[in-house]
Structure 1
Amino acid sequence: MGVQLGPLILKKVVSLRDLEGKFLAVDASSVLHQFLSIVRCPDGTPLMDSHGNITSSLVGLFYRSSRLIFEYGIPMAFVFDGKRPEIKFSWLSEEERKERNERREKTVREWKEAKARGDLAKAFSKAVTTGKLDRQIVSDAKRLLDLMGVPFVQAPSEAEAQAAHMASMGDAWASNSGDYDSLLFGTPRMARYVSVAGKYRNVWLPSKPEIIELQKFLKALDITREQLIDLAILIGTDYNRGIKGIGPKKALFLVKKFGTIENMPAPISSQFSGSLAKIREAFLKPSVTDSYNIEQGSIDEEGIIEFLCGERDFSKDKVLNAIKRIRKADLRGQQSILKWSNGVS
């Protein structure tokens, strides 16, 4: 879900070429969700093999991400979520959980109804919100990345926190995610809209990537990172319920006027009694690891063909053409990785 900071964000729109040689620590679940949403049949049905395994995310990784890495020369490491923090969504009541499930079921029902009456545009627009990651999709993604020689990191907990940590340590130029939580986790720089752009089956997507610099953002707001976290808490995060009637601009006003939530009027501060320290700690001291390898490996062409064509029913001609394209562009990708390794950013 992520915190809604949109109206406050200070961003710089760039081109993919601007990211050449810039190593990205990618929130894998964010990217896979994007592929699951848009890489579908015209009626919204996700791509699948003959055994019912969803392959939309594999299509996105193999054909889209490979272009970014090898043709645009943007080195990446994909970071996968580990154990969910106990605090995450713990504030939802059983009734709210039930309502969420009912909304999803309603969307699925509306998608199927639109598909049945031949309204493909409506069907696709409904289907894009029904994608859900499961163990098989994640396992397949890791397997393909390994065969492509693209590094991935298993986070102990939140992938966004791990990616932010890698950027903070200088092992990545930026963390790449669709959520602004990365800023709360302390990434010095985050990139958005790198994996998808343009128009796909009548669904408009952001046309260019965006870069957000944490320190420039904080300076523009005239607050600290700790105050940004308090601002987010007022709005609502994955770790707490926000206060009704308080949006980003009002939260910023309150933080700048009172400094911290504890100093705010009782009707506000009392709503977080006993939980503030735990919520703040979840962002300031998340569970991360320094045990990871982000060196790019070699491409296993035979392994890719066996997996994608032999097991997941991909077109062999298309896979071979993509491999040729990757092989041709691989030198550019290797040069970009070398530039990053030598400290050129």
Structure 2
Amino acid sequence: MGNSNLRQLAVIEEVPFAELEGSIVAVDAHNWLYRYLTTTVKFTRESAYTTDAGEEVANLIGVIQGLPKFFEHDLTPVFVFDGGVTELKDDEVEARREQRERYEEQLEEAREKGDSVEVAKLASRTQRLTDTIIETTTELLRLLDVPVVEAPAEGEAQAAYMARKGAVDYAGTEDYDSLLLGAPFTLRQLTSKGDPELMDFEATLKKHDLTWEQLVDVGILMGTDFNEGISGVGPKTAVKLIHEHGDLWAVLDAKGEHIQHADRIREMFLDPAVTDDYAFDTALDPDMAAARAYVTEEWEVAETEVERGFERIEESVVQTGLDRWT
């Protein structure tokens, strides 16, 4: 999920949506979707998004509730989905699986006790992006003519790469690892109320007198999704150590420490698995009728839960007068 300690180093400022109009944002789809998915499950009755066959598709409510924020501010989202998960992330994936299983056990106990508040809280914590959720999300985006890109590995890395290449104006994610991946500008808080935050890569390097490589070294010293950090090393200490010794290897030697796979972890931020094999068209032409039918008829989502979202999408098409919509 990214190293939250990086926030203490990152140059971040709130940016009005008015300054972003007409921009293209490569959105870390799994990160964005998970936030809407957990929110939907927490605040929506289960029957509203569960089919007669027992399949949960709360994601469809989340997508319809979340997309209007882009369209109403004349932003084109390009959703970048994860491909394969790197083997170095296996430990984190396993830890999250074990934690989810504990939550599922607690959820069952809460249901037996009839504790509706605890049930709502734990239900959101047990959500995972199943194949059905990914497939139905992708199909709904297709019907709405929203661009989708599949990354060879981490979607966040692909989004950062597309931003560096100038294919999009911003990367969009809540994870601070976007900074380590070299995204020039990252938009955060795209799932929250109010204006988003803008995280500036070059300004961050300049503020701390670091190179990109050294910033990655700072991140590794603090800990990433792929490794635990050095005990007692926080943001300020990590920067100080890099200034004193020059790079990660010199710091590890000086402190007598070892980080397994450090060289591979470093490379995964500086040269991640990405692709140039993508194309998208911003001249969008959504099929609103088909999208409505897909959500409410094929997947049996309660119309009351998505009606306002669909209305907002249609209203934004008219009010903004986007020439890419027809």
TM-score by length of 2: 0.88
State the match for 1:292 in structure 2.
278
Aligned 8 A contact 1:21 1:336 in 2: no
Supply the distance in 1 between the matched residues of 2:319 and 2:164 (Cα, whole angstroms).
26
The residue type paired with residue 53 of structure 2 is H
Change (3 A) 1:269 1:58: farther
State the match for 1:8 in structure 2.
9
| Structure 1 unmatched runs, 5+ | 198-206, 339-345
State the match for 2:54 in structure 1.
52
Change (3 A) 1:298 1:8: same
Supply the distance in 1 between the matched residues of 2:302 and 2:191 (Cα, whole angstroms).
23
Could you report, residue by residue, the CA deviation over 1:278-334 in whole angstroms, capped at 9, with x for unpaired residues? Answer: 221111111111122221331113321331122111344765665454333225566
TM-score by length of 1: 0.83
Aligned 8 A contact 2:242 2:248 in 1: yes
The residue type paired with residue 174 of structure 2 is G
The residue type paired with residue 121 of structure 1 is V
Change (3 A) 1:15 1:121: farther
| Structure 2 unmatched runs, 5+ | none
For 2:128, which of 129, 132, 136 is the aligned residue?
132
The residue type paired with residue 285 of structure 2 is S
Report the count of equivalent residues: 322
Supply the distance in 2 between the matched residues of 1:10 and 1:184 (Cα, whole angstroms).
13
Deviates more, 1:51-60 or 1:118-127: 118-127
> Partner of 1:127: helix, strand, or coil?
helix
Give the CA deviation at 1:267.
Answer: 6.3
Supply the distance in 2 between the matched residues of 1:130 and 1:25 (Cα, whole angstroms).
27
The residue type paired with residue 217 of structure 1 is T
Give the CA deviation at 1:184.
Answer: 1.1
Supply the distance in 1 between the matched residues of 2:128 and 2:18 (Cα, whole angstroms).
31
Supply the distance in 1 between the matched residues of 2:230 and 2:324 (Cα, whole angstroms).
45
State the match for 2:184 in structure 1.
188
Supply the distance in 2 between the matched residues of 1:103 and 1:324 (Cα, whole angstroms).
38
Give the CA deviation at 1:336.
Answer: 7.8
State the match for 1:36 in structure 2.
37
- 1:253 and 2:249 correspond: no
Q: CA RMSD in A?
A: 2.7
* Identity within the alignment, %: 32
> Partner of 1:26: helix, strand, or coil?
strand
Change (3 A) 1:142 1:265: closer
Supply the distance in 2 between the matched residues of 1:115 and 1:267 (Cα, whole angstroms).
53
State the match for 1:202 in structure 2.
none
Supply the distance in 1 between the matched residues of 2:204 and 2:186 (Cα, whole angstroms).
11
Supply the distance in 2 between the matched residues of 1:267 and 1:259 (Cα, whole angstroms).
11
Supply the distance in 2 between the matched residues of 1:246 and 1:187 (Cα, whole angstroms).
25
Supply the distance in 2 between the matched residues of 1:215 and 1:153 (Cα, whole angstroms).
26
Change (3 A) 1:64 1:316: same
Supply the distance in 2 between the matched residues of 1:29 and 1:334 (Cα, whole angstroms).
30
